[in-house]
Amino acid sequence: MVWKPHVTVAAVIEKDGHFLLVEETTDNGLAFNQPAGHLEPGEDLISAVKREVEEETAWQFEPEAIVAIQLWRRTPDHPSFVRFCFTGNVHNHNPNRKLDADIVATHWLSRDQITTQQSHLRSPLVLICVDEYLKGRRYPLSILQSYLDLA
């Protein structure tokens, strides 16, 4: 069998010291996560993170930098993920937009409030990405290059 990690995108979005998180249903119950999801066929990474943020929060997102690129696996018998974590700003919130079916609510939480939810985080990458953001980690979007359908 060929090993293939899942490619995902996530967004660290901060306003006034609070971070936009989603509360979502998972196989293990409710969990907190950054707006995040899987790269879809034919999609570039920037389009994917913009789509995921809008589908999960009803905010339009404009990525400005990459905070981290992470390879993560919970345990050896779980799948591996390559996660591209972006940061940027949101605008044009549509409170009437229906969110993805597994999203229960959105929350603006401080880092301390996120820490109190640590046992309910979707993965340890949620807090790691917030901390990387707070350390000032920013990498230019220009490091991402897409060559879809290039002959």
Distances (CA, A) of 2 to 5, 37, 75, 76, 99: 10, 22, 18, 15, 34
CATH number of domain containing 71: 3.90.79.10
Is residue 14 a part of any domain in this protein? Answer: yes
Residues spanned by the domain of 92:
6-141
**Mean pLDDT for the stretch of residues 21-29:** 94
Is residue 149 a part of any domain in this protein? Answer: no
Q: State residue 2's pLDDT score.
A: 84
Q: How far apart are CA 76 and CA 97, in angstroms?
A: 38
pLDDT band at 151 (very low <50, low <70, confident <90, very high): confident
Is residue 91 a part of any domain in this protein? Answer: yes
Say if CB 141 and CB 46 are below 8 A apart.
yes
pLDDT tens, 1-12? Answer: 788 999 999 999
Residue appearing with tokens 């929350």: 107
| 53: nearest Cα among 94, 15, 81, 18 | 94
